[in-house]
């Protein structure tokens, strides 16, 4: 008697639903690749007209991948997977753990792979010999002695039946990881001018200020170019300051972020100010001060009684890298001029004192800040997806039974085999095993 299925279960466990949802997801995903996403409302009105823009807004098209209807499709796919796993897994588990020595002998005569041999020895002796042959071929056997016959059984790869379930579970784990990230994580941005620090970042989307429990200092930013003028590297020297102490530091570039306290700081942009950052020290007094200056300006430092400026610049062999001409004056002697390389330090002697000057172009580094506590679930799910896919596609559960029964002269041997996948490959290895047995008897 067949149990009638609950219609709810029947609907969600059908692969027709899977096919439908997969094709719907494929089809509707196209919309968001053609219509630009997450633009301001005015963009849609200008590009598509007022009435179209209204329809788009009503259907969440401008942010369709997080719309209710796209989420509904994803949820439908997830429920479909869960119900399918629950429906099918018990049977797979039964096949993995079952005692194959209880298989009905009548079934052995109907299996896809079958060979019949005969032996002159009695069943007991024959079975021992067959067991040895199979073991040598990598098929260790278990056996069951029946009244006047022996049943041998060997199997390989039974756990491979789990592959397909683990694969679908892994997809669900990735979904869970993505949800953890969207509920408990955020993405934000922040701009840090060189030599300054911040303790607040601004969330993408709503610009909400998020206060950190530490400070991020940008010590230095450097931009280098290739000879063809393309940017080569954006590099920020960052440090994490907690309770006034530097607790972490890293020189970050695109593709190599800094992680601290569950947050990751990515190099994402930079901003030039058209100003130079100059630090001057009087080596005699030990006084030192930082200045932000524009080329052409004369900057006084009254405490030390000096003033200085940048009066010229010229290209160097390194693309995008300049030498600057400095003008420097103190109380007593005539003004001095000299060239110095950008982002370098130079010391020079004046009648009154010795000075050290450091100069570079002033930038702010632009960082993306990500907090994503779900990313490890996503990665674990991804790795497990690939491994389980390999198992599901390329490994199979192969089973071999040998039934040895008493014949008029010696014994009658029936070998039967089953494989849940790759039947052609199994037929070959079954044939080679049969060949070996044939040779021995």
Q: Which residues bind other proteins (CB under 8 A)?
A: 15-16, 18-19, 22-23, 25-26, 29-30, 32-34, 36-37, 65, 178, 187, 226, 228, 230-234, 253-257, 264, 266-268, 368-370, 372, 375, 378-379, 382, 385-386, 389-390, 393, 424
Rg (CA), the chain: 38
Three-class secondary structure of residue 102 per DSSP: helix
Alpha carbons 313 and 184: distance in angstroms, whole number? 50
Alpha carbons 25 and 7: distance in angstroms, whole number? 24
Alpha carbons 350 and 333: distance in angstroms, whole number? 8
Shortest reach from residue 207's CB to other proteins, in Å = 18
Beta carbons within 10 angstroms of residue 405's beta carbon: 17
Which of 182, 337 has the CB closer to other proteins?
182
- Overall size of the chain counted in residues: 441
Written as six digits, the tokens of 53 are 């823009």
Written as six digits, the tokens of 352 are 């009154």
Alpha carbons 200 and 212: distance in angstroms, whole number? 6
Which of 22, 431 has the CB closer to other proteins?
22
Shortest reach from residue 253's CB to other proteins, in Å = 7
User: Which letter, b or e, does each residue of 339-378 get, where b requires 16 or more Cβ atoms within 10 Å of its Cβ?
Assistant: ebebeeeeeeebeeeebebbbbbbbbbbbbbbbbebbebb
Shortest reach from residue 376's CB to other proteins, in Å = 11
Shortest reach from residue 33's CB to other proteins, in Å = 4
Shortest reach from residue 316's CB to other proteins, in Å = 17
Q: Which of 233, 236, 214 minimizes the C-alpha distance to 224? A: 233
Shortest reach from residue 261's CB to other proteins, in Å = 15
Shortest reach from residue 45's CB to other proteins, in Å = 20
Handedness of CA 265, 270, 273, 276 (dihedral sign): positive
Which of 239, 253 has the CB closer to other proteins?
253
Which of 29, 285 has the CB closer to other proteins?
29
Which of 32, 410 has the CB closer to other proteins?
32
Shortest reach from residue 227's CB to other proteins, in Å = 8
| Longest pairwise C-alpha distance within the chain | 127
Please name the residues in contact with 94: beta carbons below 8 A apart, sequence gap of 6 or more: none
């Amino acid at each position: 008697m067949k149990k009638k299925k609950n219609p709810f279960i029947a609907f969600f466990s059908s692969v027709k639903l899977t096919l439908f949802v997969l094709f719907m997801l494929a089809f509707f995903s196209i919309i968001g690749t053609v219509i630009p996403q997450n633009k301001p409302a005015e963009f849609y009105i200008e590009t598509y007209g007022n009435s179209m823009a209204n329809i788009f807004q009503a259907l969440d098209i401008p942010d369709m991948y997080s719309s209710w209807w796209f989420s509904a499709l994803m949820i439908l796919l997830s429920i479909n997977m869960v119900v399918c796993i629950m429906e099918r897994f018990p049977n797979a588990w039964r096949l993995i753990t079952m005692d194959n020595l209880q298989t009905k002998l009548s079934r052995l005569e109907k299996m896809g792979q079958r060979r019949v041999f005969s032996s002159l020895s009695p069943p007991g002796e024959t079975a021992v010999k067959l067991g040895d042959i199979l073991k040598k071929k990598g098929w260790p056997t278990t056996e069951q002695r029946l009244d006047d016959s022996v049943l041998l059984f060997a199997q390989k790869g039974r756990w491979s039946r789990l592959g397909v379930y683990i694969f679908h579970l892994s997809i669900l784990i990735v979904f869970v990881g993505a949800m953890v990230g969207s509920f408990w994580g955020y993405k934000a941005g922040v701009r840090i001018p060189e030599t300054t620090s911040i303790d607040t970042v601004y969330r993408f989307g709503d610009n909400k200020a998020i206060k950190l429990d530490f400070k991020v200092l940008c010590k230095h930013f450097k931009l280098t170019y290739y000879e063809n003028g393309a940017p080569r590297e954006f590099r920020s020297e960052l440090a994490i300051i907690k309770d006034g102490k530097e607790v972490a530091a890293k020189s970050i570039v695109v593709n190599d972020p800094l992680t601290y306290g569950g947050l990751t700081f990515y190099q994402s942009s930079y901003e030039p100010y058209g100003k130079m950052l100059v630090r001057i020290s009087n080596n005699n007094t030990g006084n030192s001060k930082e200045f932000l200056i524009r080329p052409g300006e004369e900057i006084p430092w009254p405490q030390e009684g000096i003033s200085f400026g940048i009066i010229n610049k010229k290209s160097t062999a390194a693309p995008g890298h300049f030498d600057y001409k400095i003008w420097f004056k103190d109380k007593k002697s005539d003004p001095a001029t000299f060239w110095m390389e950008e982002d370098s330090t130079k010391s020079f002697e004046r009648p009154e004192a010795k000075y050290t000057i450091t100069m570079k172009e002033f930038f702010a580094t632009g960082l993306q800040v990500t907090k994503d506590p779900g990313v490890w679930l996503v990665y674990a799910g991804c790795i497990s997806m690939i491994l389980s896919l390999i198992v599901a596609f390329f490994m199979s559960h192969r089973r071999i039974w040998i039934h040895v029964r008493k014949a008029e002269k010696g014994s009658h041997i029936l070998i039967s085999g089953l494989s849940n996948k790759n039947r052609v490959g199994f037929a070959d290895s079954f044939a080679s095993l049969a060949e070996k047995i044939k040779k021995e008897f």
